[in-house]
Chains A and B, each alone.
Chain A
């Protein structure tokens, strides 16, 4: 089994390499002279051509594409992410500030969505073709089809402004740095972030459960005299979980995409709002690093899918190093 995981892990390296090349080349296609994005226009007008040429040389813009990629990826390996073009701050520091905020938001959103998505899907399947199932399915369709920002705005209006239960945005108030203080800021954005996820997971869980409940071994479990709770959970849900685990992780990119919208709506200082800011300001170094980080997260998630499927399914776990009969 460890050999299997080792191979999967090693396979990530070439994937990451290819993605980094795509990101690098893709952003070379952005129109405009990089110099004009580095130096403010009024200062650029004052500079003579010699100075501009010198700056070009200093920034490495005269090097070949290959050399520039090498330098970029080399610096990243050394842990130097470069400087922001708009704020001129070190990207390392900016990310160190913002990444924990996004991780916190995404993790709570994911946890919340997984619990409720699986729970609602399970109930919906067990109560198939009853009013409970119909209402949950309808809510699920609403959850999937209404855009997140709309839910976000509604939530801000209702809970933030009308009821004044929760803050309308931000991550922490003055002097409120403990996690406990920050929770009130996390409730709305993580909940809204989770809605689409809940709806998606619910649909998959329902489908997977119904699929499993039609299997012969469920009938066998009943024929042994097991209680319905036992049949539904131990044999039904346990088997339904295998494909769902994969879906949970395969859907992570959508969660990441969701944070971009949610952080903007809630004015939440994370990676998502930073990315929006960087794109609108053509702050390419930040856009490149952020995109690369997202790719890393998604690749790691796909690795996690392999590990989890193997842990949950003996056919995969044992099939890799033992011959099946």
Chain B
């Protein structure tokens, strides 16, 4: 594994058991995250982007499990670790969580425990991983809260979550994630539940944090605008698979996969005019528990060919790092 790569997923497969059915939430996902960069994972609801991220630190519900593939991580100390082999909620993975790989979630309103002071919830992460006194922990939390733009941090440390607004709560969540100075920050739709103005502030803040600490970020979102704004590389997911992967310019300016193209067309743009019809992708995402042959996007694809119905497309890499899973490009360059 290259020195500048901190996380590598290879053929990851995560399944859920729902009643008697097996749902393939993540199916054969591979990507590499470079140190200090931001990787965007974009796709519709239920495409498996969150599950992919949760699989990295095995933060899966009881009925979900990694069934195939590997998650290789390079720790702060430079050690290579195979995260998917660790026992769920076991000691090994717990040392990674919070300390090496931290996470922030979609809904800051629900992410804080209502009965504890916000400061102590941030310090909890620190006290779990570092041998320091409560007083030192408090000092460090207050310092970080100050850096993250929380006014009167020493006073606000003793407030309860219900005394904070949504944007402030998400700042607290960023503080919780960043307090141990992790290598990787996984942001699972960090701005979806926030006002647009607050969204911009939070993204700006994450950007600053990344510059300051050199953190690598995995940004999960369904918002193409956020991807364009914050990411260096992007993975477009559909039905548990990455259908297109590349640098942000490659994917946005020269998108190859019909799904990516359709997705970009369905983003509303300011000044589009009232009468203009906003494109949508026809049909709905199929049931992930159904077995299928051929390309998963075929039923909704405008450029579908005969081969798409029966043969599953493999990965075709066009330029350096720009890869796509589509029959249209097979046999092209390489």
User: Which A residues fall within an 8 A CB radius of B?
Assistant: 215-217, 219-228, 235, 238-239, 242, 312-315, 318-319, 322, 324-325
Contact = CB atoms under 8 A, between A and B. Distances in A.
Interface stretch (B26-34, B103-111, B271-279, B289-297): B103-111
Given A217-B113, A223-B103, 5 more contacts: A217-B114, A227-B89, A242-B115, A313-B114, A322-B163
Contacts, number: 84
Mostly helix, strand, loop or mixed at chain A's interface?
helix
Nearest to A129: B62
Contacts of B128: 224-226
B41 to A, nearest CB: 17
A159 B105 CA distance: 56
17 contacts: A216-B111, A217-B111, A217-B112, A217-B113, A220-B111, A220-B176, A222-B59, A223-B59, A223-B97, A223-B177, A224-B124, A225-B95, A225-B98, A313-B114, A319-B162, A324-B163, A325-B164
A239 B115 contact: yes
Contacts of B124: 221, 224, 226
B96 interface: yes
Given A220-B111, A239-B113, A324 B59 contact: no
Query: Is the interface on chain B under 10, 10 to 19, 20 to 34, or 35 or more residues?
Result: 20 to 34
A29 to B, nearest CB: 49
Contacts of A322: 163
B115 A313 contact: yes
Contact of A225 (B110, B112, B115, B129): B129
Given A224-B124, A225-B97, A215 B110 contact: yes
Contacts of B114: 217, 239, 313-315
Given A314-B162, A318-B163, A224 B113 contact: no
B102 A227 contact: no
Contact of B112 (A220, A228, A242, A313): A220
Mostly helix, strand, loop or mixed at chain B's interface?
mixed
Interface of B: 57, 59, 89, 94-99, 102-103, 105-107, 110-115, 124-125, 128-129, 160, 162-165, 168, 173, 176-177
Given A239-B113, A314-B160, A314-B162, A219 B105 contact: yes
B184 to A, nearest CB: 12
Contacts of B162: 314-315, 318-319, 324-325
Contacts of B107: 216
Name, among B124, B129, B168, B176, the residue most crowded by chain A CB atoms within 10 Å (CB to CB): B124
B231 to A, nearest CB: 22
Contacts of B164: 325
A315 B109 CA distance: 14
A283 to B, nearest CB: 49
A235 B125 CA distance: 13
Contacts of B57: 223
A238 B59 CA distance: 22
Nearest to A128: B62
A226 to B, nearest CB: 6
B96 A225 contact: yes
Given A225-B96, A225-B125, A220 B105 contact: yes
A314 to B, nearest CB: 4
B162 to A, nearest CB: 5
Name, among A225, A312, A313, the residue most crowded by chain B CB atoms within 10 Å (CB to CB): A225
Contacts of A315: 114, 160, 162
A215 B129 CA distance: 24
A216 B89 CA distance: 16
